[in-house]
Structure 1
């Protein structure tokens, strides 16, 4: 067992993930849940999250890449697995052997797949991706009838059909409504109960339960993060954040008035100040743009001052504290709370990105 000597760690509450999934199960009125564990489960740890999802009754996992799918199979997962992104010809015989479903993302891809599959193996499981508005991958709506017919005429298993909404996390506008209409017209052409229909991501599952169809894909909100401020305001149930980030003070010193801190001398103390050094930096995913972000010490907010270094950063204290004092970077401490959303706002990005940028150097601890 590897021992972690540095006190910096991400703590993952698997119970929160289980409760979030249960809330989505109830919201989706019996539709199957597809737990999206791509990108190492959005930085939370794919194996541990997938294990808890399966233990809680989920029997369908989704990933972004072929390698992520094989990784799950190699760790013993026998559930249904779907690769949401592009897959090369070289992977398709592996997908047949491992019973991994893949996304058909274009008419050209289907032609390639028909030539690449190995006879004698199980039919390749295909979920047809329909591009109703994202313009990322997928057959266009007008191409869907051709794709459906092609799948049925070749040695594939037509396992599912899906799309992805571009603006489901915003107040419903013309693009969302157009995507819904286009996808419904395609679904009507399938007319086969054996083909699993899944169109909803987390935001759509929250805001539009009537679009649950056969399954819903739960990604970011499985981890307790709302897809957008708009959705968070409208939430019909409470999401429980799964990730917290913590460390300890490793050094404390009193800095005199007028002295500068860290690279570039961008911070100058206005008076004598107690400064604590924390063992976390941009190599851990605590990017330099977080200068000025608050952390929690003894439940009180205290700001990061000076430029964040590769491995360390400094915090201005309200009072002297000892080495070893606990520091909460994300999450709750006493009556204080630092939300992932704060980091996202500070960095000019979305909350999805924050757990994904926390590097492997930060160990994940589970409870």
Structure 2
């Protein structure tokens, strides 16, 4: 991912401005919502497109006690960048870098016997006890160990390895399927099963440092699910996990990313003029068109063709015609902003600009995908890196 430490001196074609002060404020807000639990800042997938290392540092500065990633490679990159403290990763495949993770003091998630065998072998080779968290499938149906005999076997084998000094069982955890759907019956069922599976493990002798199931929506709305640790992902970046739960502002969160570009062309066209591939948009009369130099290669969803909102010259415009690989067009309705004028695709909404949620609705997806998919051709420009008078 292209990263820019501060505002560049030369104009950029496009930029994703990352407000680290907003991120730190979001961490503090989320910690206040779960005062009895530690907070894990989930920075997988380059911190949902915001830049993992910079965002991880800001989150730790604001009080996040844990960092979370999906892949071990993401976790190891954080260690190489000098991030201290507890880091956890959970998406493993056979033959993964278990030994490197053990040696880097990273908590690894285990959902089945194959993974337990690989991590214990790696720990023996490294001569260092592994930090292992056992994941329970309480109803999401993805990763995680099934309840019943499978869970009993995994717990027993992990305890044997712990008794041998090969590993330490540091956590018991799970993940909600529908916490972003208020009142969904699976929420209570999963919470009850999690308590049951944790209780079983603890009766067998497991003494975890942390028990956790709460993701962003559960952190915001289900205090009974907070246990010892909450894992906040999308909320960390100031985006509501579900419009049904409330807006970002409703939860006191501020969007961290603002995506903008500079108009590459402004031109007059007559009525009846086709715009972009397939001529799905034809001008109704004489007008002006503005060319925005961003496209689906940059992560702008093609499904938002004809619907995606953009702020140009203080007015909302809509994508005219198809979004192409590198560019799309907006109908300026006769207005004539200068070439190079700013086109804001989304941001916090302070200046009347669209938000990531607006783009999600235009594309028929979720705001998670909108920010995460912004590609490597778009530089991340970090602002408000100062905290307590020090540039981080």
Report the TM-score range of the alignment, normalised by the length of the smaller protein.
over 0.9
| Inter-CA distance 273–235: structure 2 relative to 1 (3 Å threshold) | closer
Query: What whole-Å deviation, never above 9, does each CA across 1:113-169 have from its counterpart, x for those lacking one?
Result: 334432462211100000011111111121323222211111211010100000111
Q: Which residue of the partner structure matches residue 91 of structure 2? A: 85
| Inter-CA distance 205–118: structure 2 relative to 1 (3 Å threshold) | same
Q: Is the 8 A contact 1:87 1:102 kept in 2?
A: no
Q: Which residue of the partner structure matches residue 237 of structure 1? A: 251
| Inter-CA distance 149–195: structure 2 relative to 1 (3 Å threshold) | farther
Helix, strand or coil at the partner of 2:361: helix
TM-score (norm 1): 0.94
Q: Which residue of the partner structure matches residue 164 of structure 1? A: 175
Query: What whole-Å deviation, never above 9, does each CA across 1:83-129 have from its counterpart, x for those lacking one?
Result: 12124344221122111111011133223433443246221110000
| Inter-CA distance 52–334: structure 2 relative to 1 (3 Å threshold) | closer
| Match 2:284 to one of 270, 273, 278 | 270
Kindly state the Cα deviation for residue 16 of structure 1 after the two structures are TM-superposed.
Answer: 1.1
Q: Which residue of the partner structure matches residue 386 of structure 2? A: none
What aligned pairs does 1:1-12 form with structure 2 within 5 A after superposition?
5-12=11-18
| Match 1:326 to one of 320, 342, 345 | 342
Counterpart check, 1:176 vs 2:187: yes
Q: Is the 8 A contact 2:40 2:64 kept in 1?
A: yes
Kindly state the Cα deviation for residue 59 of structure 1 after the two structures are TM-superposed.
Answer: 2.6
Q: Hey, what's the Cα distance between the residues in 1 that align with 2:250 and 2:279?
A: 48
Q: Which residue of the partner structure matches residue 153 of structure 1? A: 160
Q: Which residue of the partner structure matches residue 39 of structure 2? A: 33
Query: What whole-Å deviation, never above 9, does each CA across 1:46-80 have from its counterpart, x for those lacking one?
Result: 01100101111223111000110111111111221
TM-score (norm 2): 0.89
Kindly state the Cα deviation for residue 308 of structure 1 after the two structures are TM-superposed.
Answer: 1.7
Q: Hey, what's the Cα distance between the residues in 1 that align with 2:174 and 2:349?
A: 40
Q: Hey, what's the Cα distance between the residues in 2 that align with 1:45 and 1:335?
A: 24
Q: Is the 8 A contact 2:309 2:359 kept in 1?
A: no
Q: Hey, what's the Cα distance between the residues in 1 that align with 2:65 and 2:160?
A: 29
Q: Is the 8 A contact 1:27 1:206 kept in 2?
A: yes
Q: How many residues align?
A: 367
Q: Which residue of the partner structure matches residue 352 of structure 1? A: 368
What aligned pairs does 1:249-268 form with structure 2 within 5 A after superposition?
249-268=263-282
Q: Which residue of the partner structure matches residue 206 of structure 1? A: 220
| Inter-CA distance 335–62: structure 2 relative to 1 (3 Å threshold) | closer
| Match 1:246 to one of 260, 263, 275 | 260
Q: Which residue of the partner structure matches residue 27 of structure 2? A: 21
| Match 1:308 to one of 313, 323, 327 | 323
| Inter-CA distance 141–201: structure 2 relative to 1 (3 Å threshold) | same
Q: Hey, what's the Cα distance between the residues in 1 that align with 2:321 and 2:140?
A: 40
Q: Is the 8 A contact 1:275 1:315 kept in 2?
A: yes
Q: Hey, what's the Cα distance between the residues in 2 that align with 1:99 and 1:61?
A: 13
Helix, strand or coil at the partner of 1:141: coil
Q: Is the 8 A contact 2:120 2:130 kept in 1?
A: no
Q: Which residue of the partner structure matches residue 122 of structure 1? A: 128
Q: Hey, what's the Cα distance between the residues in 1 that align with 2:237 and 2:174?
A: 22
RMSD value over aligned CA atoms? 2.0
